[in-house]
Chain A
Amino acid sequence: MPPKDNIFEPSILSELGSLHPINQIKDSISVFLSGLGFEIIDGPEIETEEYNFDLLNIKKTHPARQMHDTFYVNSKNHLLRTHTSPVQIRAMKTRKPPFSFISAGKVYRKDDDSTHLPMFHQIEGIHICKNVSFGELKDLILNIVTEIFGDDISIRFRPSYFPFTEPSAEVDILSDSGDWLEILGCGIVNPVVLENCDIDSNIFSGFAFGLGVERIAMLKYGVSDIRDFYKSNLDFLIQF
């Protein structure tokens, strides 16, 4: 029973509300990364193709740019950002390296089923400095993953493809059922992206990574249907 002012009155059950579980996960990852020295930056959700795609080396031929993957708005002159990377691009174009940013927030893709939603949350990080290596990226990623899932977690890196990183990797963790589950993408920043942001790729290099917050929350809490996060059911929300 909770403490009460008068022991001879009924207890007033603690009537705390709740923070949304997605924001709790998002904020806890942000706090962890900012503790390592990453600066939190923010930016608009309505973006241009230039910042969301072109400057990130996502060519016009990339499937993500098709109408069936991206929400275009305002007579197709703008779009709802498909990732938080344009926030980093905006910062990279105005700041001089070295720097290390994280951007977290809502992103939008034209998808809707039990594992995908048209709106979800991402946290992306970028570190630009001299002589940045894939080995350092691995160290950071292992640090993040063990912080989220504990020291006993099995993890693997496998090659993948993102236009803005090269080499690119996806990171999987081993579930209790023995399946590998993808949890994040990362890689060495493609020199084309650095040059697009007026950063000399002969002097500076960098790495980048991105996590889907809902994916982490589903694994951490055992929620099987992503849509549960957004029904706003009080019975669901107050559990977190």
Chain B
Amino acid sequence: MKIFYPHLQEYFKDKITIDDFSECLIQLGHENEISNNFIDIEFTPNRGDALSLSGLSRDLGVFFDRKKLTKTFDSPINNFNFNFKNNAKHECPYISFLYLEIDNIKPFYKDYLESYFLDLNINKKNLFTDVSNFLLYREGQPTHCYDYNSVSSGITLEKSNKKEIFKTVINQDIEIEGGDLVFKSDGEIVNLSGIMGGVSSSCSKETKKVLIECAYFVPEAILGKATKYNLNSDASYRFERGVDPNCHEKILRQFIQIIDDHAEIKDIGMNSYNLQEFKNLEINKNINKIEGILGMSIGEDLFDSTLNKLGFSVNKTIKVPSYRNDIVSNNDIAEELARVIGYDNIPQKKFILSHQEKEKEISKEEVLESFFVRNGFSEVINQPFSFSTSESCIQVSNPLDSNKKSLRTSLLESLLINLDYNLRRQKESIKLFEFSNIYEKTSSEIVEKRMLGIIVAGREGKNFKEFNKKIDKPYFKNILNEIFHDDVSDKILEIDRDRIEAKFKDKIFFFEYELNNLRVNTNEKILDKMKLGDPIRTYKKISEFPLMNRDISFLLKEESKIVELEEFIENLDFEELKEVFSFDFYKDNKSSNIKVAFRFVFQSEKKTLEDHEIDKKIKYIVKSTLEIGGIEVPGY
């Protein structure tokens, strides 16, 4: 909600800066941002009472002295004899109607009303609707204005019992579903209760006789309806959070006063239809309990004065004001005091657990992840949503993606997507694992199983011993046999390459097993993992530009030259040089010559590299290595 700073300032005796307002509002739990002369406030869902100038000033009144601002019509008002039937008393236990007949509308609004439209850049509609909107901003209570001539035969509040078309005040045709709360007149829907009125009974500039409805709807009766019909309104936002059930006469008298400021009132009538008399909730006053909850001493003076400023009456009990439907217990009272004291001013109290738990045991997952990471596997995490349409799948009733409306029954689908993603980024050796749940439905229950899934493809590794070997079933089997007690090789599946989009010639292998049923070798050393207090590592943003590979084969006259060559390569300082590894090594025992080949992988963060840019760097590498002596570069 956006509040214009000068509007809020008017409620207080002293000049308060916008920054002071902002800071105090944050202390009170109203997160906000300042933009120009506006305070944009994000309210928590329990504070419907604060959604107005008046509500905010009530809260801020604990810090700053308030002025009495609002002029109210205080003459007696006749009872208004109107044909209203409330067939939904449980959903709307408190409702009042005000009838006004006016004439001689003044051509200009008074400053207080004019500034609302001007400062908030809101278009005027007609006097009655404008006053209703203004009161919503100032007091937080929605009112609805009907052109009296269109509802003079009477109004019924009821739950619709069939599908009906309703034309809203913004000329939108809505099909109202059965069960929703509506006001009807002469059998026609004139208002979708608490959300939006209809065009057939709306006021215009010519309206002289008006019926103003001021209601309290239980939040459950309104919640979700505005979203369902895509009709979010300021009124529904407030009704969903709960409005003051005991404010109707006050609000309607303010309505009359504003009309009186802008027109000649010829007739007034008012009537309330309440299920029962409103009774304020009372909570036993227990300062010790509140002090115990907060862990600090408060004292009776601060306790009483704080609650009084917030509108509570404090004696032996604490009487909760009608607008605070969020306060029901001493814990709520503790929060009221804490907000005003300031959470940051509540002293810390040393927290030590007296019931120390046993030392944590090493889990099977820790053993497995240590083993796989040591063997070059990387862990992935995937979402559970699947394309599968199998009958055993659990269906998502409201999926984000209509193509993925079931929960996965295997980790294969997601791991194949991960493999495909990396293959399309020119990765040559891909070894991924995931621990995750899968979900299945049997005739009687839902089953969740914790699984280990592994997918492998491409080269065994990026080094001269493994680069020329492609991952095959024996390689994968050997790895699994090293960590598992039992031979699980029958669970290794070769996956059809057609299941991925990337062009790929090598074999793809997948393994999946329920974690509970796996027996692992527990002598695996657990990885030294990151600790919470370890220094922050610098993360380098991933480039989406293509990799460029260049292979160079070096001929070394002496084996000791390998040390010098590696030192030189290690010290290369090219921004685009992403990776270097030796992929081939051969020692000719007769000649003592050594052939060693390195792959230089280049990638820019800013663009696709061109051949001539790489060639320049390669020329530098060749020239420099030749200068070391005892090294030749065949072909260069």
Contacts and interface: CB of A to CB of B under 8 A. Distances in A.
Given A45-B437, A159-B343, A236 B542 contact: yes
A88 to B, nearest CB: 15
A74 B446 contact: yes
A233 interface: yes
B531 A191 contact: no
A24 B357 contact: no
A126 to B, nearest CB: 12
A46 B439 contact: yes
B397 A28 contact: no
B344 A66 contact: no
Nearest to B46: A161
Chain A contact-residue range equals: 35 or more
Contacts of A13: 462-463, 581
13 contacts: A7-B563, A13-B462, A28-B532, A37-B356, A38-B357, A63-B45, A100-B355, A110-B400, A161-B29, A168-B335, A232-B421, A233-B425, A239-B537
Contact of B540 (A12, A61, A133, A239): A239
Given A134-B293, A233-B542, A37 B357 contact: yes
B351 interface: yes
Contact of B339 (A15, A159, A233): A159
A10 B562 contact: yes
Given A61-B223, A158-B27, A237 B380 contact: yes
A148 interface: yes
A231 B462 CA distance: 22
A110 B401 CA distance: 10
Nearest to B353: A37
Interface in A26-85: 27-29, 31-32, 34, 36-40, 44-46, 60-63, 66-68, 71-76, 78, 80
Interface of A: 1, 7-13, 15-20, 22-25, 27-29, 31-32, 34, 36-40, 44-46, 60-63, 66-68, 71-76, 78, 80, 98-100, 106, 108, 110, 112, 117-119, 127, 129, 131, 133-140, 142-143, 147-148, 150, 156-161, 166-169, 188, 190-192, 205, 220-223, 228-240
Interface in B412-445: 417-418, 421-422, 425, 427, 430-432, 437, 439, 441
Interface of B: 26-29, 31, 44-47, 219-220, 223-224, 227, 240, 292-296, 329, 331-332, 334-335, 338-339, 343-344, 346-351, 353-357, 360, 369, 372-385, 394-400, 407, 417-418, 421-422, 425, 427, 430-432, 437, 439, 441, 446, 448, 461-465, 527, 529-534, 536-540, 542-543, 559-560, 562-563, 566-567, 570, 581-582, 585, 594, 596, 598
Contact of B45 (A32, A45, A161, A221): A161
B379 A23 contact: yes
A19 to B, nearest CB: 5
Contacts of A68: 227, 398
Nearest to B345: A157
A166 B332 contact: yes
B44 A160 contact: yes
B631 to A, nearest CB: 13
A60 B329 CA distance: 20
Nearest to B224: A66
B288 to A, nearest CB: 11
Nearest to A228: B542
Nearest to A142: B348
A215 to B, nearest CB: 15
Contacts of B560: 8
Nearest to A105: B437
A80 B400 CA distance: 13
Contact of A119 (B360, B383, B536): B383
A72 B398 contact: yes
A111 B283 CA distance: 39
A156 B29 contact: no
A97 to B, nearest CB: 10
Nearest to A69: B398
A167 B293 contact: yes
A13 B27 CA distance: 54
Given A10-B566, A135-B348, A158 B26 contact: yes
B219 A232 contact: no
B551 to A, nearest CB: 14
Pairs of residues from A and B, 4 with the lowest C-beta to C-beta distance, nearest first: A133-B295, A135-B295, A159-B29, A37-B353
A43 B592 CA distance: 63
A72 B446 contact: no
B634 to A, nearest CB: 17
A170 to B, nearest CB: 8
Given A73-B397, A73-B407, A235-B542, A46 B596 contact: no
Contacts of B394: 46, 73-74, 78
Nearest to A78: B446
Contacts of B585: 9-10
B353 A38 contact: yes
Given A31-B360, A159-B29, A169-B343, A16 B292 contact: no
B226 to A, nearest CB: 11
Nearest to A13: B581
B542 A61 contact: no
B526 to A, nearest CB: 11
A20 B379 contact: yes
A71 B439 CA distance: 15
B396 A134 contact: no
Given A118-B400, A167-B335, A232 B464 contact: no
Contacts of B46: 161
Contact of A220 (B219, B349, B373, B536): B536
Nearest to A39: B357
Contact of B219 (A23, A61, A158, A205): A61
Contact of B338 (A18, A31, A134, A232): A134
Contact of A61 (B26, B220, B427, B566): B220
Contacts of A38: 353, 357
B29 A160 contact: yes
Given A60-B220, A142-B348, A166-B331, 18 more contacts: A13-B462, A13-B463, A15-B376, A18-B373, A23-B381, A28-B530, A28-B531, A68-B398, A71-B397, A75-B395, A147-B533, A159-B28, A167-B339, A168-B335, A221-B537, A222-B538, A234-B425, A238-B378
Given A1-B566, A16-B376, A236-B542, A72 B400 contact: no
Given A66-B227, A188-B331, A223-B539, A134 B346 contact: yes
Nearest to B558: A8
A190 B379 CA distance: 38
A233 B421 contact: yes
Contacts of B45: 62-63, 161
A40 B530 CA distance: 18
A114 to B, nearest CB: 14
A15 B463 contact: yes
Nearest to B531: A28
Contacts of A62: 45
Contacts of B540: 239
Contacts of B382: 230, 232
A36 B380 CA distance: 29
Which of A11, A17, A25, A205 has the most chain B CB atoms inside 10 A of its CB? A17
Nearest to B397: A72
B306 to A, nearest CB: 14
